[in-house]
Chain A
Amino acid sequence: MGIKWDEFFVTGDPLIFASQIGIALTLVGALAGLTYFKKWNYLWSEWFTTVDHKKIGIMYILLGVVMFLRGGIDGLMMKGQTAVPENDFLNAQHYNEVFTTHGVIMILFVAMPLLIGLMNFVIPLQIGARDVAFPQLNALSFWLTVSGAALFNISFIIGGSPDAGWTSYFPLAGKEFSPGIGNNFYAVALQIAGAGTLMTGINFVVTVLKMRTKGMTLMKMPMFTWTSFITSIIIVASFPIFTVALALMTFDRTFGTHFFTISGGGMDMLWANLFWLWGHPEVYIVVLPAFGMLSDIISTFARKTLYGYKSMVISIVMISVLSMLVWVHHFFTMGNSAGVNSFFSITTMAIAIPTGVKVFNWLFTMRKGRIKFTTAMLWALAFVPNFVIGGVTGVMLAMAAADYQYHNTLFLVAHFHYVLIPGVVFPIFAGLYFWWPKMFGYMLNEKIGKWHFWLFVVGFNVTFMPMFFLGLDGAVRRAYTYSAETGFGPLMMISAVGSVILAAGFAALVYNIYWSARNAERNIGNDPWDARTLEWATATPVQHYNFASLPEVTKLDAFWHMKKNNELRPLAEDEIEEIHLPSNTWIPIYMGVVFGISGFLLVFEWTIAAGVAALGILAGLAFRSFDYDEGFHVHKDEIFETESKWRKGANKGVKNHVS
């Protein structure tokens, strides 16, 4: 295959060269550090081979935070480039690569891992289960996501980044107009990560249906469990579409077929349809669990049960159905008949109805409550006004005739950032502050948290509000530069300043994580927020078997009622039984690595080598099918010791940490 090293690595750009050196140094430093502190064994046995849903959840979150850094730097570079007219910080090609990777990373490698991470950690606890339905599959999902993320991320130093936008519209994304391998990274990396996500979807559908504890009927599930369940169903319904679309894209790009290319009878709009048939539900895949988190957090800090629980459930089901019926609103301008555009206008606007119901239910959950302004609650509160702006502009965009003027402008960009940041990122932050003590046994600092909150929320509004007006003035998205005569300069500059404030907010979060890990108080009991759902009914941080005896549920907000009725009693020694848990396994991480290697070879179009490497996948599957390890039992003594330790201290002599 004649490797040409001068083309293998991306060369010629000082920014990228600096990153290459930085990445190499970080890698060497990390490897050296791990070896020096003898942490390899710990990492391998406690984390890399784990099948514990809590650890997998935490690793997902770590992946999401790291990717947030990467996607955020991409965003800052874009804002830096467009801050002034005719800037030459980035050239057109580099800018195209940056906005493409920004979009893909933020949606697929930030929002998804953070949400799936929180789902992983919280859902089994909320339904009173010891694990997810398929723990080893869960680990496999995670390592495939890591594998996809790693493959996608190396593109900018090795081989060249994708540059056709996160939507990768054909014919631009085809070989006719994007030769080189940049866009192969898109097709292959997302395929691998998408397989992981699909398996997560299946896993959580089964987990929620089959693993609920005694008495927890569907209509007694906490809202986060409900939304995650519906999200998992949408994943199962929509990700196969993406899988097929990406496979066809790979054929077009690697083997010269003509599914989407304009030559040889291909149909470019087929890609757009398939992409958005997945891509629009994807928006709800990330937004719905976030809605669920908000519901739980708002009811906790308003000290009230969720208002209109039943209509909340109905509305998320409605949203999930409608989410599959609106994809054409992404290309109202492709020359559909007026009838088609009218139909999709109406279905799209209809989504505002269940969403509006939810907003009012949240407001009325707080009514007559006693609202505590913890950092988690501030994020949940900030969601409402900001998301409403995103929502109403969404309705404006849904009106096809009006969309002819907004389409592909910065108005659209502002809209979806107003939906995705308050609708996904704010709730994720809320969830992190809320569940952090459950994960690690200490809280994130509330004071630094408030800095994080105010900088981020103000920065967000300063960044994206001007874009509405720029769009209405005719500024198009994805343009790397503009002339001074357009008059976009001042608002673009304000927007750039906002992005710096936004970044400072994120920096405050990172500092908070560091500060709290070192300094936060550890004696916080198992229920620091006076919360309502079952995940708070066990130790903090959660012991590896979750619950010594599985709780029984009679009502919504089960834990709240247990507290009120004094049903939380110490566990008697004779009530303890051995607990069966699955063993750690190296197969998931091995599969991740093999998928990564064969994916990498496929990206470079070394198809035979990729095929050979893919035999490793079969080997892993074969090995798994001969794996008769049936797990292990946690001994009674260990359970008794652990349980008496935390139950003794539970909520006694613990400072109230809620300010």
Chain B
Amino acid sequence: MKKSKLFLVSLTSIMAVLLLSGCENNMVVFNPEGPIARQILELINFSIALMLLVTVVVFGLFGFIVWKYRERKDNMDYEPPEEHGSTVLEIIWTVIPIIIIVALTIPTVKTIYAIDEIPKGYENKEPLVINVTSADWKWIFSYPEQGVETVNYVNIPEDRPIDFRLTSAGTMQSFWIPALAGQKYTMAKAETQLYLVADNPGSYVGKNTNFNGQGYAGMEFEVLSQTQKDFDQWIKDVKETAPKMTLEEYEKMLEPSHLGRKTFSNTHLDWVDHSDPHSKNYTNPEMYDRGHGWPGKIFEDKDNYKYKDGNNENSNHENNENMNHKESETEDSHGGDHSGH
């Protein structure tokens, strides 16, 4: 009996200590480096304060009631009263949550609308458009205006709104730079959009939060915020020194793999816009074979890039180590248009 009280008190205090320490330690969500993440954090802090209030009230009432009305040796004869409820009290504890919810709703809706736009104070600066294409398991950043493309890192100028146009070449991912902004999904044949601004030069972690198979855990990228001067210099260097990517190289890049950083002085947008609902598929089903267990049929779509110009040959078929597909298994693929044999 005492134990439950003790447990409650310790739980409450652990909660409180952890939550309070959470506000001042270095958890990334609590250290925003840009106005969008800061707006979200304000909302989070507000909700934590209100929710802590709710928690304290309920815990307190709970502890008090359980303690006061516990069965003791001296109250064994006490027979509790017949009591069916109280309309007044029930209305009170219906109205209070309604008030709390309204109090949360107003800033929530405001913030939802606010972070959908260029942050306040930056409206007069022209946003830098960066197309983000996620593929298994890498991030491809294209700068259409500058005509450069990077893989697994993205450089942005500080103090300037960035307009990320998000899409995916295959599975669904979620694009998240916790220090700068919340996340958005990247989906093939669709485009989502995310604005952010970085306050200062610095390096931030970006990652995928939406599970997409074996290589998911390593799907991180670096966001480097630079001064405008450094950024311009970087663009200039890339234009001068980085190689040009070919279509063939690009198709190879979309195969499931981890890549390090790469830099190119052109963009894949010349060949394909994955956000277009009618774009070709760059999927490589045979390369996702898990290598154990029973193989299933593989279906491949006629829209697939491999069928381009009637060319059925998959040039990458033989040399990919992820691939456990054997020619002898093809008899099981009778149901689909299986490529490569």
Q: Which chain A residues have a beta carbon within 8 Å of chain B's beta carbons?
A: 2, 4, 7-8, 10-13, 92-93, 96, 158-161, 163-165, 169-172, 175-182, 184, 253-256, 258, 261-264, 268-269, 302-305, 307-311, 331, 333-335, 338, 341-342, 345-346, 349-350, 352-353, 356-357, 359-361, 363-364, 366-373, 378, 381-382, 384-385, 388-389, 392-393, 395-396, 399-405, 407-409, 454, 457-458, 461, 465, 468-469, 472-474, 476-482, 604-605
- B84–A363 touching, CB < 8 Å: no
Q: A163-B290, A176-B170, A262-B189 are in contact. Are A402 and B44 (CB under 8 A)?
A: yes
Q: A371-B66, A402-B40 are in contact. Are A384 and B58 (CB under 8 A)?
A: yes
Residue of B nearest to A353 (CB): B97
Q: List 11 A-B contacts (CB under 8 A).
A: A11-B292, A172-B171, A179-B286, A261-B299, A303-B79, A304-B83, A359-B58, A366-B69, A384-B62, A401-B40, A605-B297
B304 contacts A by Cβ under 8 Å? yes
Q: Give 1 or 0 for each of B126-154: 1 = CB within 8 Å of chain A CB.
A: 00000000001000000000000000000
- B65–A367 touching, CB < 8 Å: yes
Residue of B nearest to A480 (CB): B217
8 Å CB interface, B1-52 against A: 1, 3-4, 7-8, 11-12, 14-15, 18, 22, 26-30, 37, 39-41, 43-44, 47-48, 51
Chain B min CB distance to A372 (Å): 5
Listed stretches B88-96, B231-239, B243-251; interface member:
B88-96
- A172–B296 touching, CB < 8 Å: no
Closest 6 CB pairs of A and B: A404-B182, A160-B293, A263-B301, A335-B192, A408-B209, A308-B85
Q: Which of A158, A303, A384, A405 contacts B29 (CB 8 A)?
A: A405
Q: Which of B136, B183, B281 contacts A262 (CB 8 A)?
A: B281
Q: Which of A158, A309, A378 contacts B85 (CB 8 A)?
A: A309
Q: Which of A255, A311, A388, A474 contacts B205 (CB 8 A)?
A: A474
Interface centre among B30, B285, B286 (most CB of A within 10 A): B285
- A370–B69 touching, CB < 8 Å: yes
Q: Which of A304, A334, A359 contacts B187 (CB 8 A)?
A: A334
- A477–B211 touching, CB < 8 Å: yes
How many B residues are at the interface, by size bracket?
35 or more
B101 contacts A by Cβ under 8 Å? yes
Other 7 A-B pairs with CB < 8 A, given A159-B293, A169-B172, A388-B55? A176-B283, A256-B299, A345-B109, A361-B90, A385-B12, A405-B178, A481-B217
- A172–B71 touching, CB < 8 Å: no
- B18–A469 touching, CB < 8 Å: yes
Q: Which of A269, A309, A399, A465 contacts B47 (CB 8 A)?
A: A399
Q: Which residues of A contact B4 (CB under 8 A)?
A: 373, 378, 381-382
Interface of B is mostly: mixed
B332 contacts A by Cβ under 8 Å? yes
B78 contacts A by Cβ under 8 Å? yes
- A182–B293 touching, CB < 8 Å: yes
Chain A min CB distance to B209 (Å): 4
CA distance A310 to B115 in the complex (A): 42
CA distance A565 to B285 in the complex (A): 73
Chain B min CB distance to A274 (Å): 15
Chain B min CB distance to A408 (Å): 4
Q: Which residues of A contact B30 (CB under 8 A)?
A: 472
B340 contacts A by Cβ under 8 Å? no
B215 contacts A by Cβ under 8 Å? yes
Q: Which of B181, B217, B294 contacts A404 (CB 8 A)?
A: B181
8 Å CB interface, B91-120 against A: 93-94, 96-98, 100-101, 104-105, 108-109, 111-116
Residue of A nearest to B336 (CB): A256
- B290–A405 touching, CB < 8 Å: no
Q: Which residues of A contact B332 (CB under 8 A)?
A: 2, 605
Q: Which residues of A contact B29 (CB under 8 A)?
A: 405, 472-474
Chain B min CB distance to A77 (Å): 16
CA distance A346 to B101 in the complex (A): 8
Q: A268-B187, A363-B65 are in contact. Are A256 and B335 (CB under 8 A)?
A: yes
Q: Which residues of B contact A310 (CB under 8 A)?
A: 85
Q: Which residues of B contact A345 (CB under 8 A)?
A: 105, 108-109, 112
- A159–B294 touching, CB < 8 Å: yes
Q: Which residues of A contact B27 (CB under 8 A)?
A: 469, 472-474
8 Å CB interface, B176-198 against A: 176, 178, 181-185, 187-193
Q: Which of B55, B115, B166, B183 contacts A392 (CB 8 A)?
A: B55
Chain A min CB distance to B74 (Å): 11
Chain B min CB distance to A402 (Å): 5
Chain A min CB distance to B160 (Å): 21
Q: A171-B188, A408-B174 are in contact. Are A256 and B297 (CB under 8 A)?
A: yes
Chain A min CB distance to B53 (Å): 10
Q: Which residues of B contact A334 (CB under 8 A)?
A: 184-185, 187, 192
- A472–B28 touching, CB < 8 Å: yes
- A363–B192 touching, CB < 8 Å: no
B214 contacts A by Cβ under 8 Å? yes
Interface centre among B55, B109, B214 (most CB of A within 10 A): B109
B202 contacts A by Cβ under 8 Å? no
Q: A181-B294, A364-B89 are in contact. Are A335 and B190 (CB under 8 A)?
A: yes
- B11–A385 touching, CB < 8 Å: yes
- B51–A396 touching, CB < 8 Å: yes
B80 contacts A by Cβ under 8 Å? yes
- A305–B182 touching, CB < 8 Å: no
- B93–A349 touching, CB < 8 Å: no
- B112–A177 touching, CB < 8 Å: no
Q: Which residues of B contact A476 (CB under 8 A)?
A: 176, 207-209
Residue of B nearest to A481 (CB): B217
Q: Which residues of A contact B181 (CB under 8 A)?
A: 404
- A179–B189 touching, CB < 8 Å: no
Q: Which residues of A contact B96 (CB under 8 A)?
A: 356
Chain A min CB distance to B203 (Å): 12
- B211–A172 touching, CB < 8 Å: yes
CA distance A366 to B82 in the complex (A): 12
- B210–A408 touching, CB < 8 Å: yes
Q: Which of A393, A403, A605 contacts B296 (CB 8 A)?
A: A605
CA distance A178 to B263 in the complex (A): 30
Q: Which of B172, B209, B294 contacts A7 (CB 8 A)?
A: B294
B75 contacts A by Cβ under 8 Å? yes
B298 contacts A by Cβ under 8 Å? yes
